[in-house]
Structure 1
Amino acid sequence: MAALDSRSRIRQANDALLALLDRSTSEVRDIEFARLLHPDSRSRLQVGFDQLRLGRTGRFTEYVKVPRPNHAVRGNLTALRMRADARTSSPLLVLLQADPPPAEGPPDGARSTLLSEMEAKILERVAAGASTVQLAGQLHLSCKGIEYHISAMLRKLGVPNRPALVSRAYTTGILSSGTWPPRVQQEHVKCR
């Protein structure tokens, strides 16, 4: 957890966040929080911080990557706008929850995740930009059925939303890179 000022600079950070960042208090104090994250995460995070500062939202959550010397740590970052009063010198609060380390197997979350045939079809179409209504029509399921399968995949891959699902599927090799339309690799589909 970290307390940020109105310019998203770190005012205070707890020991758990410092350990996750692999830095000391003196190394992070007065640094813009987004600079500690992977460049892919920075622009989305800055937009979220701007929305908080302007009062357009009270909180937001993003899936981010934290660079470390030997590997990257991924996790959910939640930012909250604190009530402004004389006692609050830090208007923004950031909570960063790292994904659990992968079980025995390949590093960096690349362990095999098996999907059902229906989940594989849905994931391919979600990666291509299909909506729930489009998926329901194409796959002859109800919208609730589609949402059920998507929720199951979100849990399997440990992500909060569809964009993060697609991103995780590409980074773990479930979806083949360099192909269009997107295709799930067969080794990630359960055999009947």
Structure 2
Amino acid sequence: MNHRRPYTAHACSKETTITAAEADFAAQFGLSPREICGRAVSDLLQAGAPGRLRHRFTDLCEGRTDCLTERVTGRHGSDRVLTASLTAIAITGPAGLAGIVLLLHPLGKASEPHPHELTLSQLDARLLEGLASGASTAALAARLYLSRQGIEYRVTQLLRRFDAANRPALVGRAHSLGLFVPGQWPSRVRPELIA
């Protein structure tokens, strides 16, 4: 069984194009986070039956379901085939569907750690800095212009990514991995680790 953490990306509901992706998600396709943005999910991945993934995304975007999971295949450049489980979760706001969160779980044997393993998105870096300073969920939500649920979701993703049981353990793990600039208060994520 594969116990690796999922790689995440965000897509807009229109054309289900990727609007943001962590480095590990993009790397599964031999791309950088910047290169993968603007690409349609259905152009990167295929389900077993032709058109099935596109049909399931249509159901998600039109509100007939709020989540889907599908076994998919894709290509990493021209030399390797990616087999993964893709989960897509609809994120709704007051005006309806606000976007889609994508969780990609590569299947098969675990590979060597990816060189971008410690790279953080700008949002996750600011969130981790806020956690290190002891900011509350409400304060982080106001500072980062997210809902409280959005903050909780991102914190949960970071807890899973760094295999930490709670927020203090996450901050401790970040320090032990050298994610923060040494000797600086308030803590700041090292700029070279922000994608």
Normalising by structure 1, we get a TM-score of 0.47
More helix per residue: 1 or 2? 1
More strand per residue: 1 or 2? 2
Q: Which has the larger radius of gyration?
A: 1
Higher relative contact order (CA 8 A, sep 6+): 2
